[in-house]
Amino acid sequence: MRRRRIAAGVVAAGLAVAGLWHLGGGAWIYAKAALAQVLLEGSWERTQRGEDKVRPWPWADTWPVARLRVPRLDVSVIVLEGASGRTLAFGPGHHQGTPLPGRPGNSLISAHRDTHFRFLKDLEPGDEIRIEGAAGTARRYRVTGAAIVDRRQARLAGGGDRPRLTLVTCYPFDAVVPGGPLRYLVFAEAAERI
Amino acid sequence: MTRLPTDNHLPPMAPRTVLRLGIGLIVGALVAVFLLLWTAVEAGVPLPGKNAVTPAKMQRGGLLFRTDEPGAFLPAPDLATEARIRINGMVARVQVVQHFLNPHDEWQEGVYVFPLPDDAAVDHVRLLVGGRVIVGEIRERQEAKRTYEKAREAGQRAALVEQERPNMFTASVANIGPGERITVEIRYHQTLRYDDGAFRLRFPLVVGPRYIPGTEPEIGLVNAVIVTAPPRVPDAERITPPIRHPSRGMANPVHMRIELNPGFEVAEITSPTHAIKTTGSAEEGFTITLDGDAVPADRDFELVWKPRPGETPVAAVFTEEEGDGTYLLMMVTPPETEGAPRDQALPREVIFIIDTSGSMAGTSMKQAKLALGMAIKRLSPRDRFNIIQFNSVTSSLFAAPKAADPSTVRRALAYTAHLRADGGTEMLPALGKALDGKKDAGRIRQVIFITDGGVGNEAELFRVVTDKLGDSRLFTIGIGSAPNGYFMREAANLGRGTFTYIGSIDEVQEKMEALFAKLERSALTDLRLTLPHGMTAEVFPQPLPDLYYGEPLVIAALVDRLEGEVVIEGRMGRTPWRTAVPLTSPRPAPGIAKVWARRKIQALSDAVHYGADRQAVRDAVTRVALTHHLISRYTSLVAVDVTPVRPENVPIAKRDVPLNLPRGWVYGTVAGEQPTGAPQPARFQTGLLRNAAYALPQTATPAQLKMLLGALALVLSGLTLWLYRRRA
């Protein structure tokens, strides 16, 4: 009887530890996403004052390149350079090799569907997106449409003369398991300068 | 009335038992879900944290975009190449030695994409390191790859040689220690080409950057999304190694040594591509080396030797006994071709296709324009012609072929003079436009294709050739310092024409004259082979090709005995032609069995372009390749040293060895605009040259999954306690 009690206790404790570990791990992902944005404010301000490649913390391999605002949804996020998994944990990532947001051509920005780009599902054609660039420049974009594509069969084209944005996140928004092939894309085109 | 069994008929269960059973089931289900989710988190699902790039995991494509700090990924192993070539009669035995040197203080894996002749029968690889020799084994491709990867992870030295295209191979060498040198020796047999009274050996030294066609550039039409069919070149990543920026100097010095035993008196030995030094004589053999120490691997090497007049062998038979039978290689030169009449009987329709893509920019385009101009001036007023040019788009001089009168010729020459090379290499529409699939006995239709063949979608193009050839004949002219020999030969082979190389501006005149002789004279057609009575043989190629002026018939066969004579019949225009070759006094020569097997593999692979079942071809090729110990598309050579050398906890970095840009190419036109201006190795952009296309990233976190898993574990924990309490 004693043995059984110990066994049950060990099983329960083990499960509890594993449960807390994973709960914590999940929560940490959200906390990191939110916290990083707060920490980024400082380096973004320095970037706007004209400093180049301000690393938010000494070991960072990325830096802020723009702030993305959606007035209607009260969204404001700082966009980082590069779209590696590590960068996307902290904020939306601008794909190196595509033009910087605000410049002519198609700028590609990706973020996680369950953190920074959760709001993409609420964007509607005609919505305004504001991009504040590095040296205090700003540009307004209008959402022109959205699409759901299979990443195995879709590629995004760069090029073009007008500044354009393509915001990318995973689809469906409420899937629990990450890693699916579908992507939700929102397209926006530059309106006149503010 | 039948009575349905109901609960009443089962023995009654105690409520406690039902409860226990239910709880047991629920717990079981929860545990199952828990385990399922756990495995999903730990293994199946790529987590952002795990995607973080560590050098050992760095993907090939990652190289291009991690260029913020110049030099971040430059320390690839240094490489030097030696080629030792022994030529006996019609077969060359070549040993390519690649020295990988690791000048850095980390462990490295070197990955090097290199060319070989497109008919190379590669049968041997050895790994030489620290006085040890490890001989490679032939394995089914996936199996070889697994063996190699296991050895790499275990810290053992290993080499893997894989075929990407018949003329493009990848050598991977794992666990090169800091400051260490590892040597990989690759050996192959190759048949020599005899044409126009000269033997030729081509040894390619660099893989010209290949264009990977993607989708049409539909920017701005559908919101910048290009939705493509499954990729047209599934292995694009493997065949587009980084290219060294010219400002970084040349990599990979090459040494060469050739021993030549021609078997006849030689009038001259020359190389149109490199300065060479020749010593020796026909009796004791010649030794040919490069003048100077080494050359950079930036263009093909070609050696040409001509027999003295009257020394040309009319027929030669070489044999090798191996295992189950006798293998023979036979060359027959139709003597009548010397005096073959000019074919004036039928008017010709000549369609020129000229490649004006970015890879042709520079000296290649000058050669191509000169060659095209010569061909246009050569047309007779009875002929009809058209010019099709292609880069990212296809366009033509006339909407339909026109008679070559003075005014159309003038227009064509002006059109040619204004051709400019830039953009992609979308070859498919041009080829489709030139080949009309029609048959018309009232004319001879010739398609002359001037290109460097710098494409990765060969299979797709070959399919168009076989589908739409009709009675047209396709002639390829390979331009530039490193043309894609596989494309040139195979397109001409399937198109029942012939191929020509023009390596430099000085060669244009001579090579075009030789081609005109082929185009304007009757070909030897409807060739048939009759074996001695009672002999069984497996002969390649099958069917026999048409022979153009100056070309010999070369066949390889596996026969059950050697006796009697082989009779070859055909016709030249309306004149019948016949010759008999005795099999009674063959010259023994090593390597004939491998050459035969290589030709069989080619014949099997060609069937795919005619719609044969891929899986059946794959099985057949694998069988032949394993039997004859040859590398093929489906078999690789792998060598593994049993002793681990890399300490277990020290990481290994994978490095692609960047290739030189072929001589005469213009860097900017093939590499496109780079994300940074720094002289980094470039990759050919997939699909679009200047408007690079971007793949979509992974954009979901496993946070919800983890939290769900956590909550589930907590519930299970509580349930365990509760269950235990109840019982107690």
d(CA A117, CA A33): 11
d(CA B684, CA B423): 12
Say yes or no: domain B342-520 is CATH 3.40.50.410: yes
- Strand pairing partners for A106? A164
Which strand (E) or helix (H) includes residue B169? Answer: strand B168-176
Residue A180 maps to which CATH number? 2.40.260.10
Among A91, A96, A94, A89, CA closest to A29:
A89
C-beta atoms of A154 and B696 within 8 A: yes
- Strand pairing partners for A156? B225, B694
pLDDT of residue B124: 92
CA distance B63 to chain A (A): 12
Chain A residues touching residue B223 (CB < 8 angstroms): 144-145, 147, 166, 185, 187
C-beta atoms of A26 and B690 within 8 A: no
Given a cut of 70, the residues of chain A with pLDDT beneath it are 1, 151-161, 192-194
d(CA A128, CA A9): 57
Please give the residue of chain B at the shortest CA–CA distance from A9: B721
Print the SS3 string covering B326-366: EEEEEEECCHHHHHCCECCCCCEEEEEEEECCHHHCCHHHH
For A114-130, the pLDDT digits (tens) are 889 989 988 888 899 99
Contact B183, B129 (CB under 8 A): yes
pLDDT of residue B21: 76
Q: Dihedral (C-alpha) B453, B459, B461, B466: value to the nearest 10 degrees?
A: 130
Prediction ipTM score: 0.82
Which token pair is B234? 């599934």
Contact B96, B203 (CB under 8 A): no
Strand, coil or helix: what is B57?
Answer: helix
Contact B696, A149 (CB under 8 A): yes
Number of domains in chain A: 1
> So where are chain B's domains?
7-45+702-727, 342-520
- Strand pairing partners for B395? B389
Q: What crossing angle do the helices spanning B703-727 and B15-39 adopt, rounded to 10°? A: 150
Parent domain of A24:
2-190
| φ, ψ for residue B528, nearest 5 deg | -130, 150
Chain A residues touching residue B714 (CB < 8 angstroms): 15-16, 19-20, 23
Please give the residue of chain A at the shortest CA–CA distance from B68: A96
* pLDDT averaged per 10 residues in sequence order, chain B, 728 residues: 45 66 77 68 39 26 24 57 92 93 83 90 91 91 95 92 93 89 93 90 87 50 43 71 70 89 89 93 89 85 90 85 90 68 76 92 92 94 94 90 95 93 86 90 92 89 93 94 93 95 90 91 90 91 91 93 91 87 89 95 93 93 96 96 85 76 70 36 34 60 85 87 77
C-beta atoms of A179 and B698 within 8 A: yes
pLDDT of residue B652: 80
Substitution target in A22, A106, A110, A120 with the highest count of B β-carbons within 10 Å is A22
> Which pTM was predicted?
0.68
pLDDT of residue B200: 93
CA distance A136 to chain B (A): 23
